[in-house]
Amino acid sequence: MNDSEKAGKKSYRFKLIKIGIFLSGLSVFAQLYLFQPLLPLVSEYFNAGAGNSSLLVSSSTIGMAAGLFFFAFKADAYSRKKLMVFSLLSSALLTFISTWIPNLSILIAIGCLKGFVISGVSAVALAYLTEEVEISSIALAISMYLSGNTIGGMSGRISTTILAGEYGWKNAVMIIGIISLVLGLVFWKIFPNSRFFHPQKIDYSLKIKQMRRFLSDPFLLSLFCIAALLMGTFVSIYNYLSFRLEAPPFSLSHYFIALIFLMYIFGVFGTMLTSYLSKHYEKRNILKFSILTMFASLFLFYSQNIYLLIIGLALFTLCFFSAHTMASQMIAIRAKFGKSSATSIYWLFYYFGSSILGSGTGYLLHATSWTFFVSLLASILFIAFLLSGKLLLFSKQPS
């Protein structure tokens, strides 16, 4: 494979890849966390507690984790683009169908199915970029994908909250479904087909060997665990901060609370900053510093001053996306063979962290207090920091 034939930074093909991968991330994350800002409304509508209503978010991420495990074996048997198109269009239809579901349990089940089908995008997106883009431009391409994730997550949450306030949460879900369908169709039209990948017969024994090798590599295993811990902490904050802000001493309105998701713009800065810093500094040091700053920012969440809390959320969000972007790059670079399997395992850990910690901390918050909740998240981040400190030692191990 001649790397010079891959999409270069100034080529038209690279521009289409950047736009397409950005739109895919936009659609995936607008849908995946669609119900997160609606949890108080859904909780009231179905007369369910915070923990039970949070299953609407966790069900999608559980489905995503299951789908990623499936595609870790199956992804190389399908065209990269066709799999991503199927995922984007089918998930949009499931989001649209969610509008007419009158039962919380069925809605949770549909969320799980939606997470499964949409995982096809995450399973192959990073592998596609490393296969089709010049190595000097991979960091930029990955940051575009993760920026799409970030902006999709932010715009989806904000627009859903505003639309729910005007037209009801069910109509808000329907509108997001229609927009996601349009994004999927545009992606289908413009995204370039693979040049350096061809669907191949699945060698299950080879896949299992690859996965065993990745899971027995302390360097990769540490990154997988870090992904789970960071994502679980991040989702926990965004799942339950709205409940905190609705209660005294803040007692904020639903519309004002929606604006907290504007903090996701700091996630875009985080991905861009990491893309730049990775050219000048050691990757594992960037990861360590990002996690340490996330940990420090949590102390501002103890405050009853809204301005300090907002500053903490901005810093927390920026550093999470910085760490996530860095870890994604390190995984893609470390796994020289079986990249789709390696990235699928990464996302598997990532979404299991989101599912288990995202809901588990909700039940804990309901049973204890906000102070205990934040303290637990701080301890989780400290574990992630300790793991990041071991990466220098583990980097000597072969992948």
Q: What is the CATH number of the domain that holds 75?
A: 1.20.1250.20
Band (253; pLDDT cuts 50, 70, 90): confident
Asked if residue 59 lies in contact with residue 112, where contact means CB atoms within 8 angstroms, the answer is yes
Digit-coded pLDDT (tens) for 335-370? 777 776 787 788 889 888 988 898 888 888 888 899
pLDDT at 380: 97
Kindly give, in sequence order, each residue whose CB lies less than 8 Å from that of residue 220, ignoring residues fewer than 6 positions away. 214, 331, 334, 335, 342, 345, 399
Within 10 angstroms of residue 2's Cβ, the number of other Cβ atoms is 6
Best CA proximity match to 241, nearest among 370, 391, 354, 387: 370
Comparing 124 with 319, the larger pLDDT belongs to: 319
Residue 224, pLDDT > 60, answer: yes
pLDDT at 1: 42
Comparing 319 with 147, the larger pLDDT belongs to: 319
d(CA 245, CA 236): 14
Partners of residue 133 on adjacent β-strands: 7
pLDDT at 315: 96
Average pLDDT value for residue range 106-121? 93
Half-sphere exposure of 229 (CA within 13 A, CB side): 24
pLDDT at 3: 46
Comparing 321 with 198, the larger pLDDT belongs to: 321
Within 10 angstroms of residue 34's Cβ, the number of other Cβ atoms is 26
Band (381; pLDDT cuts 50, 70, 90): very high
pLDDT at 81: 93
Asked if residue 369 lies in contact with residue 240, where contact means CB atoms within 8 angstroms, the answer is no
Average pLDDT value for residue range 51-62? 82
The residue type of 389 is G
Within 10 angstroms of residue 152's Cβ, the number of other Cβ atoms is 25
pLDDT at 204: 77
Average pLDDT value for residue range 24-43? 85
In a domain, 53, yes or no: yes
- Kindly state the tokens that stand for 39: 């949890």
In a domain, 61, yes or no: yes
pLDDT at 182: 96
The residue type of 265 is I
Band (68; pLDDT cuts 50, 70, 90): confident
Q: Which domain holds residue 363?
A: 3-394
Task: Name residue, tokens 């399973």.
Answer: 123
In a domain, 193, yes or no: yes
In a domain, 351, yes or no: yes
Task: Name residue, tokens 């683009």.
Answer: 81
Say which DSSP state 253 is in. -
- Kindly state the tokens that stand for 109: 């089940």
d(CA 42, CA 340): 36
Asked if residue 306 lies in contact with residue 284, where contact means CB atoms within 8 angstroms, the answer is no
Give the best-scoring range by mean pLDDT among 7-11, 180-184, 392-396. 180-184
In a domain, 307, yes or no: yes
Task: Please report which helix (H) or strand (E) contains residue 288, including its range.
Answer: helix 283-297
pLDDT at 394: 67
Residue 2, pLDDT > 60, answer: no
pLDDT at 117: 94
Best CA proximity match to 14, nearest among 123, 129, 126: 129
% of the chain surpassing 90 pLDDT: 37
Asked if residue 257 lies in contact with residue 239, where contact means CB atoms within 8 angstroms, the answer is no
Give the best-scoring range by mean pLDDT among 85-94, 119-128, 274-283. 85-94
Give the best-scoring range by mean pLDDT among 157-161, 234-238, 254-258, 259-263. 234-238
Comparing 55 with 228, the larger pLDDT belongs to: 228
In a domain, 399, yes or no: no
- Domains held by the chain: number: 1
Average pLDDT value for residue range 366-392? 92
| Model pTM score | 0.78
Out of 3-7, 199-203, 333-337, which region has the weakest mean confidence (pLDDT)?
Answer: 3-7
